[in-house]
Structure 1
Amino acid sequence: MARLTLTDPNNPELAATIARFEQTLAALTYGGEVVDGNSRSLTLSPNASPAIQSHLSEITNQWLAFQTQLQPPIDDALLQADFAALLSQLDSAVSAYEAEAQAKIARLRWVQIIFLVVALLLLAWGYHLVHDQLIRPLAALGTVAQGIGTGKLNAAVPVLPGYELNQLGQTMERMRGEIAVYQTSLEQKVALRTQELTTAFNFSQEIVQELDPAHLMQSVADHTCDLMQGAGVAVCALDGDGRALELVAGSGPGQQYVGLRQSATRGIALPVIQQHETVVAEGGCANCGFLHHFPGDSCTAAPLQIGNRTLGALCVVRPQNPFDADEARVLTLLANAAAIALENARLIEAGKQQTEENASLAERERLAVDLHDNLAQTLGAMHLSVDQLARELAAGETEQAEMRVAEMQTNVQQAYAQVRMALTGLQESTP
């Protein structure tokens, strides 16, 4: 600008440069639009810094002084001095802008550092929060779930943070408690059923060895009462035509009603005897002469059955704890074992009777053979004695004939006794 003023004051570029400088100074001071060196339009806002505004004010004053030197007559020395002062003011303004920019950059860096530190703290806090509120509770739930899966039900679920996880933990704790109760109940039932089956096996082994039907029935009643934890047991047998049941053995109060008879075609006896079913009912409602004495008590009855043939019934009654399906099944097993043992005892007794009859028949056959031989010998001897008696009578030997007659009478009596013993099936030892 100073060069053009000194060398070519009428050059249009000088006026354009002055206008562009004034526009830029006004935009820096008051804000506005300015064109940069690349011909790009920029919109500036007024600077709020007092130091920069002071520099701009000094530049404006210096520009006004410098602008008067651009008018002729031009004093070269004053022009150069004012231009140097203007450049100095511009350098000061640029330095102020640079310092402000550096301060802003420094503040921005500190803000970034603070944001980074806060972000790291938030990350650490988030990790801690997620670990304490989510990962650790889920790990605890996973450990408890694995323990439940392996059968370890003694460890309780810890109290978990958070509403949802705490609700989940409480639900799992209730589930663990219920599973523990069910497992304990199942173990007790398994132990009870094992004991029942062991007792039933021992019972079947014992009653199979019992051959006396009366003792067998009483043993069945006693063992059934102990095994089923009953207050009373009745063992009833069908009569010959299968229309009536007779109480033949009992345990507890059932012993008082031995000999009691009732119809097998009504009441609880109908499904047990006719339909071969194990029935669970209430004693007072069973329409049974024995169960009628136990009103309100629970009872169960099973048929003494072999194949499709029913021998009788086995009944148990107790005042508390109604019989369940498992106990009814155990009673059915006991009744089947008792029926088999009873049938075996009857078969053995029938075998003994058959053996005795066979022995008696063989003895009769032996007696018949002996009788035939003895009778033939006796008759042959009597025939000879008759011939001798005739000769003795013809010879007049009276005394000898009387002795012969007495001997013949004795032989006839012996033959008569032997024939009578054979006919009556009796045998007496003879000397």
Structure 2
Amino acid sequence: MIDRESATTQLAALLEQHIDEVADAWAQMTYQNASFRPSDSWIDMLRTSAKQGLQAIIETLKTGSYISLKVYLSRLNIVSLKSGFKSSEVTESLLLCKDAIMEVISSGPIESSFVWAMIYELDACLRWIVGHFNTIAAAELNRCLRQQHENIIAMLNISEQATDSIDINVVLEHVAEGIMAAAHVEHCDFYIVDEDRNRLIPTVGTSHSPRPEKLIQAFLNYYPSPTSDPFYQLILEHKQPLVCENAQTDPRVNQAITSQMGTKSILSVPLVANHKVFAIVTTGTFSEYRTFTDEQLELTWDIARAAALVVENAGLHQQNRYMAALEERERLAREIHDNLAQALSILKLQASNIAELIRRGHFDQAQIFAADMVRTASEAHTDAREAITSLRTSVSTVSELMPTIEAYLDKFRQTYSMDVHLAVQDDCPLVLPPTSVVQLTRVIQEALANVRKHAKAHAVSINLQHDTQHLYVTIEDDGQGFEFSKIVQQENGGVGLQIMRERAESLGGHLKIDARPGKGTRIIAQIPL
């Protein structure tokens, strides 16, 4: 019976003697079996790889150490991913090694007992090779998936921000990093769709290795037209990723720019938002031809979908902001009309009283009414000015809320010489829809207008606090206060309070008013989170 050591020693010697012959046969089998053949010269690369693999196998057979095989398989995994081959295709190629070796074993003058012993050792070695390669490939796929997950989460975090002014460059940077990781490429650029001029605008993206300035300039100087560039026209029409394995011969690709840049293979992925392509991600190779696996295409498509969510979210927010602004302008128009009508009624009454007093010769009393009339007109003018300021104040995002309120309070202090204090709970969750932001701002402005007109206060405080379900906005002054029941009984009484109540209720909240004569006034607006 032949021992294992003798079988492995003879197998190693046989492979060393016929290494070029076996490497050539293995490379030819792999080439013929491949679904994608980048070029005729690719066979030379396969021979080199096959010979390196055989040298690693020989080293393992001689020493019993698998270090050389581990290094070879790690490199093979990287090369196969960059070439666009599936792990199953590489596994098939590794198994073809046995067929190539068997041709040498079966053709030589070797005793049958040695033949079976060598086949047994060869099978054991190949089982380890295939198992280890699949382990490496699975680990690399998991790494890609984790990185893909991180890129998608990063973009979704951008999407969750309530803003219509997203930085598209930040989004594209995440897209580039995600697609480069998924497709195992070194660079990623963009074409931005210019619908007005019916063209694509080149935009340099990200690269993990330096690129010649000449290549970058060639890319930036080419503006594809969707009507004259079939490759990009297909992407815009079908809104799906598109692969060109050989850009040098593909009739869909502009051969002039391909030749100028030396492009070998291309992968382009559309970024689609609201059923329109707003940009095209483009990457590829310059030194070798390659394809892209279904898994790689799906991963790149996931990144593109995540980017679309970010852009669509910004678009929806912009639409909500417009609707909130439109509703607010209608509300302010009604308020201006009501306040102006009230002021005109008072002025009309005062003018009638003055005329009657003058007719009777009561000039001193007429002067008193005239002074009141001037004050009424002045207050009406102030109200109108503040209403116009409110119309010009464009605030509907959380990021604009606090700066807008603080700016308004600064102006209020300077204009009316009143001590105004703003306090915000440290962890106050300012996550509100546009309508709530607008109404919250207006409630504070209206409350301060009431303080100015009626309270005779020296100081006013504004506090923002919350619990798990509600945001509480408290406006409190140290003025003269009032008796609420008497105010509402007066003609046109409590207009400002009613306006604030309507604003709070429009958000599903309510307004609480706590006022007593000589004790100041506290108004609490409760708004659901």
User: How does the TM-score come out when normalised to structure 2?
Assistant: 0.43
Matches within 5 A, 1:126-137: none
For 2:275 and 2:328, the matched residues in 1 are separated by: 39
Query: Is contact 2:176–2:205 with CA below 8 Å preserved after alignment?
Result: yes
For 1:259 and 1:419, the matched residues in 2 are separated by: 55
For 2:141 and 2:376, the matched residues in 1 are separated by: 77
Letter in 1 for 2:224: Q
Query: Is contact 1:264–1:270 with CA below 8 Å preserved after alignment?
Result: yes
- Is 1:232 matched up with 2:196? no
Shift of 1:279: 0.8
Letter in 1 for 2:290: F
Evaluate the alpha carbon distance shift between residue 310 and residue 364 of structure 1 in structure 2; reply closer, same or farther with a 3 A threshold: closer
Shift of 1:232: 1.9
Query: Is contact 1:234–1:250 with CA below 8 Å preserved after alignment?
Result: yes
Which residue is 1:301 aligned to? 268
Shift of 1:334: 3.6
Aligned-residue identity in percent: 18
Query: Is contact 2:148–2:181 with CA below 8 Å preserved after alignment?
Result: no
For 2:379 and 2:301, the matched residues in 1 are separated by: 57
1:94-127 Cα shifts (integer Å, max 9, x gaps): xxxxxxxxxxxxxxxxxxxxxxxxxxxxxxxxxx
Choose which of 149, 155, 167 in structure 2 pairs with 1:207.
155
Shift of 1:394: 0.7
Which residue is 1:264 aligned to? 226
Shift of 1:385: 0.7
For 1:288 and 1:242, the matched residues in 2 are separated by: 23
Which residue is 2:236 aligned to? 273
Evaluate the alpha carbon distance shift between residue 259 and residue 414 of structure 1 in structure 2; reply closer, same or farther with a 3 A threshold: farther
Evaluate the alpha carbon distance shift between residue 193 and residue 167 of structure 1 in structure 2; reply closer, same or farther with a 3 A threshold: same
- Is 1:344 matched up with 2:309? yes
Letter in 2 for 1:395: R
For 2:373 and 2:288, the matched residues in 1 are separated by: 86
Shift of 1:233: 0.6
Letter in 2 for 1:345: V
For 1:307 and 1:416, the matched residues in 2 are separated by: 46
Letter in 2 for 1:274: E
Letter in 2 for 1:172: I
Matches within 5 A, 1:234-249: 234-240=189-195, 243-248=198-203
Which residue is 2:119 aligned to? 172
Shift of 1:295: 0.8
Query: Is contact 2:248–2:264 with CA below 8 Å preserved after alignment?
Result: yes
Which residue is 1:426 aligned to? 392
For 1:248 and 1:416, the matched residues in 2 are separated by: 53
For 2:133 and 2:170, the matched residues in 1 are separated by: 37
For 1:294 and 1:185, the matched residues in 2 are separated by: 35
Evaluate the alpha carbon distance shift between residue 248 and residue 167 of structure 1 in structure 2; reply closer, same or farther with a 3 A threshold: same
Evaluate the alpha carbon distance shift between residue 172 and residue 334 of structure 1 in structure 2; reply closer, same or farther with a 3 A threshold: same
Which residue is 2:338 aligned to? 373
For 2:150 and 2:256, the matched residues in 1 are separated by: 31
Letter in 2 for 1:165: S
Letter in 1 for 2:236: I
Query: Is contact 2:343–2:380 with CA below 8 Å preserved after alignment?
Result: yes
Which residue is 1:220 aligned to? 175
Moved more, 216-225 or 404-413: 404-413
1:335-361 Cα shifts (integer Å, max 9, x gaps): 322332222222332343344334434
Query: Is contact 2:274–2:312 with CA below 8 Å preserved after alignment?
Result: no
Evaluate the alpha carbon distance shift between residue 171 and residue 309 of structure 1 in structure 2; reply closer, same or farther with a 3 A threshold: farther
- Is 1:386 matched up with 2:351? yes
Q: For 1:262, what is the secondary structure of its paired residue? A: coil
Letter in 1 for 2:173: Q
Evaluate the alpha carbon distance shift between residue 374 and residue 290 of structure 1 in structure 2; reply closer, same or farther with a 3 A threshold: farther
Shift of 1:389: 1.2
For 2:270 and 2:318, the matched residues in 1 are separated by: 28
Shift of 1:376: 2.7
Q: For 1:264, what is the secondary structure of its paired residue? A: coil
Name the structure, 1 or 2, with higher relative contact order (CA <8 Å, separation 6+): 2
Choose which of 135, 142, 145 in structure 2 pairs with 1:197.
145
Letter in 1 for 2:237: Q
1:119-163 Cα shifts (integer Å, max 9, x gaps): xxxxxxxxxxxxx6xx999xx99xx9xxxxxxxx97799x99975
For 1:236 and 1:164, the matched residues in 2 are separated by: 66
For 1:309 and 1:365, the matched residues in 2 are separated by: 33
1:148-198 Cα shifts (integer Å, max 9, x gaps): xxxxx97799x9997561684498379646666655554444443333233
Query: Is contact 1:221–1:234 with CA below 8 Å preserved after alignment?
Result: yes
Which residue is 2:318 aligned to? 353
Q: For 1:301, what is the secondary structure of its paired residue? A: strand
Choose which of 323, 329, 339 in structure 2 pairs with 1:364.
329
For 1:307 and 1:407, the matched residues in 2 are separated by: 59
Which residue is 2:291 aligned to? 324
User: How does the TM-score come out when normalised to structure 1?
Assistant: 0.51
Cα root mean square deviation, aligned: 4.7
Shift of 1:380: 1.9
Shift of 1:250: 0.6
For 1:405 and 1:259, the matched residues in 2 are separated by: 74
Q: For 1:230, what is the secondary structure of its paired residue? A: coil
For 1:426 and 1:215, the matched residues in 2 are separated by: 30
Query: Is contact 1:237–1:247 with CA below 8 Å preserved after alignment?
Result: yes
Shift of 1:420: 6.8
Shift of 1:306: 7.1
When you count helix as a share of all residues, which structure comes out higher? 1
Point out the structure with max Rg over C-alpha: 1
Shift of 1:214: 2.7
